[in-house]
Every structure is written in structure tokens, then in C-alpha cells.
Structure 1
Amino acid sequence: MNTLSEFVIARRRWVAALWLVALVCGIAATGGINKHLSNEFSLPGQPGFKANQQIVAQYGNGASVAPLVPVVTLPPGTTVDDPAAKAALTRGFDSVATIKGVRVASYANTGDRHFVSADGRTSYGLVFRPPFATNGFNDNDIAAQSATTVADLKAALPAGSVVQLTGMDPLATAGTTSSGSGVLTEALLSGLGALAVLLFVFGSLLALLPLLVAAVSVTSSFLAILGLTYLTDVSSIVQFLVGVIGLGVAIDYSLLVVTRWREEIAHGHDNETAVRESLKHAGSAVAFSGVTVAIGLASMLVLPVPFLRSIALGGMTIPLVSVLVSLTLLPALLLGVGKRLDWPKLRQESTASRGWTRWAGFIVKRRWIAALVSLAVLGFLFVAAFGLKIGEPGADSLANAGPARAGLVTLEHSGFSTGVLTPIEVLAPKDSAAAVTAAAEHTGGVLTAISPTGAGWQHDSTAMVVVIPGTETTGPTGQSILRHVRTATEQAAPAAMTGGSGATDVDMISAVYGNLPLMLTLIGLVTIVLLTRAFRSIVLAVKAFLLNVLSVGAVYGVLRLLWQDGHGSQVIFGVPATHAITSWVPLMVFAFLYGLSMDYEVFILSRMREEYDKSGSTTTAVVQGIGRTGRLVTCAALILFGSFAALSSSSETMLKIFGSALAIGILLDATVVRALLVPALVSLLGRWNWYLPGWAARALRVAPSPLPVPTEDVPERVPEPSVAG
């Protein structure tokens, strides 16, 4: 850090000018980056993915895209068994089948009574559509198909008939917009919330500096990601994460550097010395924090899922660029305009915060109670996480109102299972279609299996078989049915291939969570090595890793209780229990929360280590460490909480789940873990916190830290704060 600080001090105008250029170029990149990002999703080598590829290649529709489900209700006194009504129903669905690229299954072309309600008035159909961005189709074409489907059916049916359109995609997108203004609004709200917190922290115009650093970091991240797109595919999800995550991360890092700079100024140092000291101490913590966040995201590189790997690559640029800006541009700005912006200077940094110092003293005196209470809370949530079910939100949780919801209600009230929304598709040899259909139909949990012989259902030597499960394949029960169908149909015809939207979910779970132990092992080893070097302590590094795992596990418990079981989701978000959590959510929550919460661990423990090296007292280290970082960590957490809470206000259920998990995770980590459990454990572990044997120190190229003489069997006298900070 000494070399970096000397470089910035000597060339601060050049540093500022280069980042100004990056800001301008980044703004330009932001406007056109979308067309360079990828919407491709693939699961190479997975059976369901290969089946869906073949289905699309031969039939051009269905596969991983759940079908539209038109629900037809005939007028009172009319049933599908009336010749005229049956003929009208046939004409209507035949008309739908002429829409470009679709394949239709209904009572009209199958004769299967599972498509008809018990009273004979209501019937549904399955309209298999082309996948997005396939054969020239896009979202607008899908919307046009939906409208045409309803219009064609209404035109053919008797007067008084009601046609409603539902399906997993119409339900998922109910109430959403495609303009992207919601994201912009969320970013602006997050920025305003961050400004309010920063004004409270600094009590001066210095609050503007972290926002400026965040703006440069976010736009420069977009510029870096644009460069990545010329080397590899980068998921379009990354652009959303840059805006939401980048703002909070960059502000967090700026908070630490600026606060330490003010502290050094308050101690009488000149501006250059204050910058050197802030980079030496806070800068090192920022660097290690940024690398740790990047490691959390880089862990996804070991997963055999290309789009997750691209998110990892793109996402890693956010913390790394934020670190670079915070350690170069921010010191340059502090050297130039820092003192002038520190006005009216309503807060002082000459001493630790009175409130947080007293809190730390309270925890040290009651360390056993604090540790047991916090472990009880986290332990309860961690145990609850073992009941987490991976899948997709159930249909009932996707929309509370709108035409798609009305269609779903009609479907359910007519006695149909919501399993019709996620049919299983089997690509079978034509001469084995009957055997495959019979095998699937006799599989436990299956309502019916059909293999129409009309147009669009056979191609060359293959035929399509549609299997209707008794429950949606979005959850564990439906996924189990799909696996049994795959086994049964392959036994009936070894060449049969099982696909459909549920097969994609099963593949995703297998590819991601089958490799989870390797991912956790790698991230654990790298993190412990880095933190051992940062803290010069094996115990602190291992403790930090274990507490982060415990913290993320507790958030999984919240996901299970709040969303999966519905304890509060209806009251808070207006969404009933989802019964399963989208497969990518736990992984992304781990990748981001692991690194972000480690930020706070590094901030706190780095300061404790510094205070211990000065005083040789664990109690002083805890009290001064929390006194100096407590307000900082809490305010940084509030900023991130605001960003994630804005994300959870999205109209899409999956984003609600993701945003709320990150928001609750940050809040839980900054309170129960960092403000309660961390100081309690450090106090309990005493002298063992600071131990780094010579062999480890030599390997890491840092100074060793011998085990101190055991003189702290009881807490020392807690130092009292003299001046409010």
C-alpha cells in the first residue's frame, strides 16, 4: 500500500483524469452494452438439456418453454359432449394450431377426458410455443400468439363461452413491464437512501465523495464488462447486478477509506500523511474485502453451467473495479478537495463512538450470554435451512391478479391439477411411441400420457409424447415424477429422451448442487489462506469462514420459513407460499452474501488486530475495534439493505425472493453476527485469536505472531470512551 499511496500522491491529477475518461467511456458503454450481452442458457451434457435441444431442432417448439394453457368454459347447459360444441371446440383448437410455429394438444385431437372437467363444461389445451430467440421469435411474437390463441378460440366457440389464457410464463410476467424503468427507479431510490445515510455518517459534504466513487465504479464496471463480451459470452443478468450490487459495494469501500482519513486528520496529521495512513490500514482491508467478494463469485466458475460462469466473470469485475477506484481515485480526491468538502463537520473522528464503545464493553462483560443468544438465533435458522426445497415457485405464488391468475383459478376450480402447466415431453422413436406412452401413463404420479398423430406431432422417425404429471414439476414431488418417467420411458425405448421445462430444473439442480461440495471446499481454502495473511492469525481466519457459512445458512433458513413455507410472504409481499425456491437463488445468495458479509468481518477484525498490536490486550482490541467500526459497518449495511430492499419490490416473484434474501442477510449479518457474535467470540477466545506460528508466517511472508502468555482468564477493565464520536 505504501507504493500505491506514493504513486497516487505524486500523480493525483493524472489519476483523476484517467478515471474521468473511464467515467465518460463507461457512460457511453452503458447505453449500448445490452446488445453485446447474452440471453443464452445451456446445460452441456445434461440429459434434459440434450432432449430439449433435439425437440427444438425437430419440432421447433415446446422443450424448456412451458406451454400456454387456454381454458375454455362453455355456456351453462352446454358440454363438450354436445356435437355442436365439440365441433366448435375442434375448429377453435385447429385454428390455433395454424399459428406459426406452435403445436397444440387438447380434447379435440386426443379424445382424452383428462382435458375435460367433471361437469363437461370446462376444457383446456396445451399450446407449445417456440423458445425465445429461436427461429426468429421474440417476446412480442409470444404476446401476439397469446392474443391470437384467445381470439381464434372465441371466434369458433358458441356465444357465451369464456376463454382465459394462463401458463407459467403469463403468470410469472403478470404485472411486469419491459421498459426497464423499474430498475432505474430502484437505482435512484437506492442512491437517495445512500445519500441520507452518508450525510448521517459524515455530517458534511464528504457524503458526496462515496457517491461519486460509486458512479465511477459502476460505469467503469460496465466498460470492463463490455470488453469481456468480446472475449466470451456474458449473461444479461450481469448488467442488473452491476447497478444494484456495485452501488453498495463501492460506497462501503469509500466509507472505510474516508472515515480512516478523517480519523488521521483529527489526530493532527497533514493531508498527505492522512492519505498514506488511511491506505495503509483501511486500504488493506478494502483490498482483502474486494478480493474476498470476487472469490465468492469466482467459486461459480467450477460449475458446469455456462451462464453462471459468465455471471461469475462479469460479477467479479464489480468488487475489483470498486477496489481500484477506492484506492486510487478516492485518495486523489481527498488530497485535492477532501478538506474543503469536510464542512460543516458535524461529526468528529478523534475518538471512537461512545455508543458503540459502550456496546462493546457490554458484550465483553456478558460474552457468554451474547455468544449463546446469537448462536441460538443463527442455529435455529440454520437448522430450518435443511428443509429448503430447490425448484421453482409454484403457480399459485406467481401472480395475485390479472387474466393469467383468473385462468389459473378457473382451472383449479374445475378440478384440474396445476401439473397441466408443466407437462413432461418425451421425444420417442415413432415405432415405439405407443409403448413409451403406456410406460409413462403407468408411472406413479402421472395423470395421463398422450401422443397425438396429427400435424406437428411426428417428424421423420420420431414422435412426441406429452405426459401430464399430477403436480407441477417445479417442486421436489414433480421433479421426482419426472425422474421416474425418464426411467420408465427409457426402459420402454432406450432411444427415448425426456425433456420439458421441468427437465431443465432437474438438470440445473444436478449440475449446480452436485458440484457444491467442490465449490465450498475451494472457496473455503482460498478464503482461509487470504484471511490468515490479512489478520496474521489462523483462528481469526477460520472463525471468519465458519461464521460466514453460518450466516449464509441462516439466510437459507429465512428463505425456507418466509417464502417456501409462507410465514410472512403473504402479509409482507402479497405472495403465498412458493413451496420451493428457484434453483439459482440459493447459489447467487451465497456468492454475493459470502463476499459482502466478509467485508464487514475484514473491516472489524482488521481494526481489532491493529488495536491488539498496539495494546497487547484482547479486551481493548474488541472495545476499540467495535467502537471504531460499529457505526461504519451498520451504516454500510443500511446502504446495502436499501439497495436490496428496492430489488425485493420488483413485481416478479423470483426477484422478490432474491432481493429479500440479500436484504435480510445483510441486516442479520451486521447485527446478530458482527455486532453480537463476533466480539463475544473474540473475547472468549482471548490470546488464541492472535496466534500465527512461524511456519505459517514464513509460508505467507508475514511476521509471525507468537502465542501470548495466558494473562486474560477474565476480561480486563473495559476502557470508557471520553468523547462522543
Structure 2
Amino acid sequence: MTNGEHIKGIAARAAVWSARHRTLAILGWIAFVVGATILSGQIGVREAGYADQGHGDSARADLIVEEAGFPERPAGEMVIVQNRAGTDRAAAVADLTRQLTATADVLDVQPAIESADQRSSLITFSIAGDNDTAKERVGASLDTVARVQAAHPGLYIAQGGDASGDKLIGDDLNEGMHRLSMLSIPVTLGILLVAFGAVVAALLPVALAVTAVIAAIGLLAAASRLAPTVDATMHVMLLVGLAVGVDYCLFYIRRERDERRNGADPHRALVIAAQTSGRSIWISGLTVIVAMAGMFLTFDTTFTSFGVGTILVVATAVLGSLTVLPALLSALGDRVDAVKIPGMYRRRSDGRVWHALLGAVLAKPLLSAVLAVGALAVLAAPVLDLRTKAEGLEDLSPSAPIVQAYKAVNEAFPSKASPADVVVRASSVQDAGFTRTRTAFEQAVQASGGRLTGPVEVRVNPAGTVAIVSVGLADAAALTTLRQDVVPATFGGLPGATALVTGEAAGNADFNARLEASLPWVFGFVLGLAFLLLLVSFRSVVVALTGVVLNLLSVAAAYGMLVFVFQYGHFAGLLDFQPSSGITNWMPLFLFIILFGLSMDYHVFVLSRIREGHDRGLSTRDAVREGIGRTAGVITSAAVVMVAVFALFATLPLASMKQVGIGLAAAVLLDATIIRAVLLPAVMALLGERNWWLPRWLGWLPQVAHEPPPLPGTRTDDSRRLVPVP
């Protein structure tokens, strides 16, 4: 530490300690990452089971079934043979039945059933062995069906089912996720190489972000003992971890490099970077963690898993940015700019485009604010038509053969595609009373006007205490009829019995009800705590309120773009999806939490730089000009990284993943351009000194220094250069 220098704040103290003990800090980080990875390998990750992920009546029904001891059923498959050109199906059905019966790993081939319009035949069978690994043995049946289709070109013959779906859809999605994981790192590195123009400086953020993600995934194994995880959590952790990890390093390194170029010695440059960018990282990370914690209020296993994973990866990225990054910068010194790329390396970015735009905004702040709000309003307008729906066949690529097969089965045999299960638990489901009730249930199905479709199938557990009664649903309203009318009037009358409806449609309805109930609590929690964190950090009610409102505007615009693209069908051919009646039901809540957390990165960073200038005595307008002007380059680089990584999700085969990618990429792009470059400076310029208003009764809030004190015997001029005191 330089004699007489006063170090304040967690980030600055951590940086000074790491610089003094840089070998220990670097080796400690490596040991932490390796240790977390070993921990994960030793104890494994506890994954959420099927019964862990439900809600309401369907979840209770699933738990009853799980505890009832039903023998595991083999994976079911079905093949549709459809007459589309006047060709006789009988020969093809006979040929298919014969060949399937002789196919390896195929069991229990059933006689074909006919559709109501007499245009389709359906053959069902099972795959031998464990249900969970059936996709490894379904290939032989798929080959058989392909041979029969080739022999009967005038018919449509296609297979679908549990095992084939896992193989063809699941493998395609896993391959896409793996490809995304592999592409995201080189894409990020390429952008940083352009941003820094130096190989070493570009490698540091990527290395820290990747190691932070690896360590966080290792810690997830321990956390999963408290909250079981779902498969997609690790992909979300990579998405968020790469975004925040790169951003934090980018902010820190850029500030340290700027201070060195302004004349500060290496130690002083590091301290200033820690007391400014480091402090912003600390506040931003805390805000992101608070936002992610909002997922816990859904009481949903998937959201809880996402919440745990993202909190772990953000906390790990903050820890690395405040400890090992200062140690590495101290060890490298000016060598951080080593291996310069000819034509790309610049000692200082002039940012002429951003400065010109900022000058125009500050010259006409009211006009700029009106135009920015107008543009955001236009983009957000479709949100008024936002509808949600459960994930279904329409969320898969319309060109996928198995998707076409499922659609054909669903249209011709709706009761076979997604039946509802009525789970009945009683002292006995094999006595005369249950038999009479079952007959009454079948009669009610026949009298439902086609909403409920047969045949009604019943399975009973070995103890004879639980029955699963399966019935087809013709449309969405059929579930309401089944739950509110048919089941209470039949099985609900059995003495001492419990009768609950589960199945895909019931599970989706219960999930939607759970989300709707949690929305006000999640939004209130995230908005309220984000406001409080900004209030404490910047000691201003106006700044905190402005930050919340601006983030809500970017989220609304992202929602509007999702409706425009995925509901209205724009760019459907380019993105390979089919328009649907609504956005995936979990998407609005998920995007709100992720976007609100990530956008705070930029907001806290920019506001800290503005407040820093104001604390040095600049007017609000000049502080805005300096703060945004000096951060425009680094925010552009960080935004380009995020947009590029998020956009990769649009290449995945599932519509919900495309929505994640488009929604996040659009929101970050808007946030870094219209919000931060136009609306924020315009609003702050209009408010002037009112930006820093704090009621007297909040005067007890802690004083937070945004401007690092100069060295003894020096001062900082308006360009942030250290100059001797006259």
C-alpha cells in the first residue's frame, strides 16, 4: 500500500490483499475450482424426480402412484399408417405387424385399431427392458418402420412414443445444447479479441468466467442435496455465468487499463479499479442474486433449481472478480496488453459515435426521452396481446419427422396421444362398489358429447388399493369437465376414496395455476429489493426508482418482441419454428428475473461512474456526459458478448429455447442502446440535481464513496489524470 493511502470497501481490501499475496490468491482459486469439481464427482448431483416437479392435484396423484408399487411399464410406442392417396392400408398394416413382431427388443405388438374417419390405422407395442434406457434399443423398430414405409410409398407410415421421442427429440436437443456450449466460448473470445485488441486481455475474462462456471457446477452437487436439480440448470448456469463473468472482468480490466493510461502507477490503478469497478461488481452481483432468489417464490422445482444454479454461478463470478482477477492483474502488470493484434489494439477508444449520440441527447433531452419512450412503446405494444400456453408439439421444429408423426396421431387418435389419468385410492379398488362406479364413469364418458373419449383403460396396483383410470381428452375444456363434473359425480362418491386427475394436460393446468399465484410475489420481491439495493448504494430515491422503471421498460419491450416473433409468426422460416397461440407459460417469469438481474450489470456500472463524477463536483449533466461517455465502449463490448451468446439459443430445436435466446438478446441490445445511451442520460439531464434527492428521514443510510481519494500530494483533474497539488 502506498504511504498515506486510505483503502475503503470490501472490493478494494480484497484487491489489495490479493495483490500482496497474489501467488496464494491464484493457487487458492485453482484449488477452489478443482476442489468443487472433485466434490461433484464424489457425491454426484441429486436430480429431481417426476413426482418432485408437479403441483396441485396432479402432483398429489403422481405421488400416490409412485408410492403404490405399480410395476414399471415398458416404454410404449405407436405407429400410424395413414391413407393419404387412396391406397389400401390392409397390406401395409399386415406387413408392419409381421415385421415388428420379428424385430429385436419389440414386445406386445397389438392388433391395429381404426380411426373414426377410417383413414388411419394405429399399431401399438412396447420396447423391452428398462423404461429409462429404452431409447438405446428403439433403433431397430425405427428401422423396421422405415423399411415398411419405403415398401408402401403411397401411405404415410411413422412412429412415435416415449423411447423414439427421447431418442430423436432428446438427442437432437442435447446435441444442440452441446453445440451451443462449445460455440459460446470461442464466440465470446473472438468478440473480446476485437474489443481489447490484445490476446492476454481477451483471455482473462473468458478464463475466469469458465472457471467460475466449472466451480459453481461443482458446488451445485452439494446444493442439490437441499434442492434437487433439473437437467437444464447447467445450461442456464453456463448462459448466466459466461455473461456476468465476462462482464465483471471486462469492467474491472478496462478501468485498470484506463487508470494506467491516465498516469497512475500499477498499484494505484488497481486500487482505483477495485474501489470503482470492483464496488460496482459487488453491488451488481448482489442485485443479480436478489433477482434470481425471486425464483424460489414460485415453489416450483425447475425454477428453484434455476435459482440455486444462477445464484451459485453469480456468487462464484463475483468472488473470482474480486480476488483472483486483481492478483492476475498485479502479476501481469502492463503485460496484460501482451500479444497485440495488429490493426485492432488501441490504447484508448475514442468512442466518437457514442460521444456524438450523447451530445445530441444532452442537447435535446426532452425530445430524446420522448423518442426513446416512443420507440420502446412501439416495441412493447404487442405485449397487450401476450398469451401463454404449455409446451407441446408445436414447440418442436415443424420439419422433424417425429413431430409430424405425433401430429398425425393426435388428429386421428386424440385419446392415444395424451390421455388423462384418474388416480383412485381406496380400501379396495377391486370390489363391487368400485366396479359399479367404474361403469358409471364409462357412461359419463359416453355422455360427455365427445369431450371425453374412450376406450377407458384401468390399471390396478398389486395391493388392490390404487387404480389408474385412463381416458382421452378431446380438447382443453375436457379437463375441466373431467375434474369438476365427471370425477366428483363418480369416483368422488366412493366412501373413503381419494380421486385425483393427473396426466400431461392436468399437470400443465396445475403448473399454470401455480405460476399465476406466484407472479405478484415474485415481481414484488424482485422490484422491491432491487429498489432498496439501489437506494442504499446511491443514496437517492430518484436514482433507485429510475433504475427500476428503466429495467421494466426493457423487459416490456422484450415481451413485445417475443409476441411479435413467436405469436405473430414473423421470421418463422428463418428461425425454423411454427407460430403458436401463445408464449411458453414459464417464459415471462423466467425472462423477467434473468433480464432484471443482468440489466443491473450495466445500470450499476453506469450509475457508479456518473455518481463518481458528481461526487468530484461536476454538475449532473457533465457527470452524465463523462460517466456514459467513458463507459460506452466497455458496455458495447459487454452487450455484444451477451447478445451473441444469447442469440445462439435461437439455433436450438425447441421453440422455448428460441424464445429464451431472442428475448434475452433483444432485451440486452435494447438495454445497451436505447435505454443506457439515450433514455438514461436524457432523463437524468432533465431531472438535474433532483436525481440525488433523498428524504431527510432516510439520512441514516450509510455514506458510500464512489470517488476514490487521490494520493497524498496529488489531485485528479477533469480527465481523471493525477497531477501534483500546486
Instruction: Output the TM-score relative to the length of structure 1.
Output: 0.82
Between stretches 344-353 and 334-343, larger displacement belongs to 344-353
Instruction: Return 5+ residue gaps in structure 1 as ranges.
Output: 109-114, 472-477, 706-718
**1:237-274 deviations in whole A, cap 9, x for unaligned?**
22222222212211100011111111211221111111
Map 1:434-453 to 2 at 5 A: 434-443=439-448, 446=451, 448-452=453-457
Structure 1 SS opposite 2:131: coil
1:552 aligns with 2:561: no
Quick one: distance in 2 between partners of 1:231 and 1:62? 28
| Residue number in structure 1 paired with 2:18 | 8
| Residue number in structure 2 paired with 1:541 | 544
**1:684-704 deviations in whole A, cap 9, x for unaligned?**
222221112332230x32269
Between stretches 192-201 and 12-21, larger displacement belongs to 192-201
CA positional deviation for 1:497: 1.8
Check conservation: 2:61, 2:500, Cα contact below 8 A: yes
Quick one: distance in 2 between partners of 1:95 and 1:485? 40
Quick one: distance in 2 between partners of 1:542 and 1:46? 37
CA positional deviation for 1:310: 2.5
| Residue number in structure 2 paired with 1:52 | 62
Structure 2 SS opposite 1:166: strand
1:460 aligns with 2:461: no
Map 1:692-707 to 2 at 5 A: 692-698=694-700, 700-702=701-703
| Residue number in structure 2 paired with 1:431 | 436
Alignment RMSD (CA, Å): 4.0
1:336 aligns with 2:331: yes
Check conservation: 1:640, 1:666, Cα contact below 8 A: yes
One of 683, 699, 712 as aligned partner of 1:681: 683
Quick one: distance in 1 between partners of 2:211 and 2:146? 54
| Residue number in structure 1 paired with 2:612 | 610
Shift in alpha-carbon separation, 1:332–1:154, aligned structure 2, 3 A: closer
1:202 aligns with 2:211: no
Check conservation: 2:415, 2:453, Cα contact below 8 A: no
CA positional deviation for 1:416: 3.0
Shift in alpha-carbon separation, 1:159–1:550, aligned structure 2, 3 A: closer
| Residue number in structure 2 paired with 1:358 | 356
Alignment size in residue pairs: 675
| Residue number in structure 2 paired with 1:256 | 251
**1:555-578 deviations in whole A, cap 9, x for unaligned?**
22222221133222x222111113
Quick one: distance in 2 between partners of 1:170 and 1:189? 28
Quick one: distance in 1 between partners of 2:527 and 2:548? 7
One of 483, 490, 513 as aligned partner of 1:510: 513
Shift in alpha-carbon separation, 1:257–1:90, aligned structure 2, 3 A: closer
Letter in 2 for 1:485: L
| Residue number in structure 2 paired with 1:716 | none
Shift in alpha-carbon separation, 1:676–1:338, aligned structure 2, 3 A: same
Shift in alpha-carbon separation, 1:662–1:126, aligned structure 2, 3 A: farther
Instruction: Return 5+ residue gaps in structure 2 as ranges.
Output: 1-8, 425-433, 493-497, 707-717, 722-726
Check conservation: 1:391, 1:581, Cα contact below 8 A: yes
**1:320-369 deviations in whole A, cap 9, x for unaligned?**
11111111111111111031122449656668633322221111122223
Between stretches 222-231 and 490-499, larger displacement belongs to 222-231
Between stretches 288-297 and 362-371, larger displacement belongs to 362-371
Check conservation: 1:395, 1:418, Cα contact below 8 A: no
CA positional deviation for 1:637: 1.0
CA positional deviation for 1:410: 4.5
Shift in alpha-carbon separation, 1:551–1:564, aligned structure 2, 3 A: same
Structure 2 SS opposite 1:279: helix
**1:49-86 deviations in whole A, cap 9, x for unaligned?**
222333455585999x9975431347967578xxx999
CA positional deviation for 1:487: 0.7
CA positional deviation for 1:550: 2.4
CA positional deviation for 1:189: 2.3
| Residue number in structure 2 paired with 1:141 | 134
Check conservation: 2:567, 2:579, Cα contact below 8 A: yes
Quick one: distance in 2 between partners of 1:579 and 1:127? 33
| Residue number in structure 1 paired with 2:576 | 574
| Residue number in structure 1 paired with 2:486 | 489
Between stretches 278-287 and 178-187, larger displacement belongs to 178-187
One of 21, 24, 49 as aligned partner of 1:40: 49
Shift in alpha-carbon separation, 1:60–1:638, aligned structure 2, 3 A: farther
Shift in alpha-carbon separation, 1:77–1:594, aligned structure 2, 3 A: closer
Map 1:636-655 to 2 at 5 A: 636-655=638-657
**1:391-429 deviations in whole A, cap 9, x for unaligned?**
2344244133344244246557xx637675322222355
Check conservation: 1:296, 1:594, Cα contact below 8 A: yes
Letter in 1 for 2:487: E
Between stretches 427-436 and 596-605, larger displacement belongs to 427-436
Identity rate of aligned residues, in percent? 26
Instruction: Output the TM-score relative to the length of structure 2.
Output: 0.82
Quick one: distance in 1 between partners of 2:655 and 2:166? 7
Shift in alpha-carbon separation, 1:446–1:20, aligned structure 2, 3 A: same
Shift in alpha-carbon separation, 1:694–1:347, aligned structure 2, 3 A: farther
Quick one: distance in 2 between partners of 1:86 and 1:236? 39
Structure 1 SS opposite 2:699: helix
| Residue number in structure 1 paired with 2:316 | 321
Shift in alpha-carbon separation, 1:389–1:351, aligned structure 2, 3 A: closer
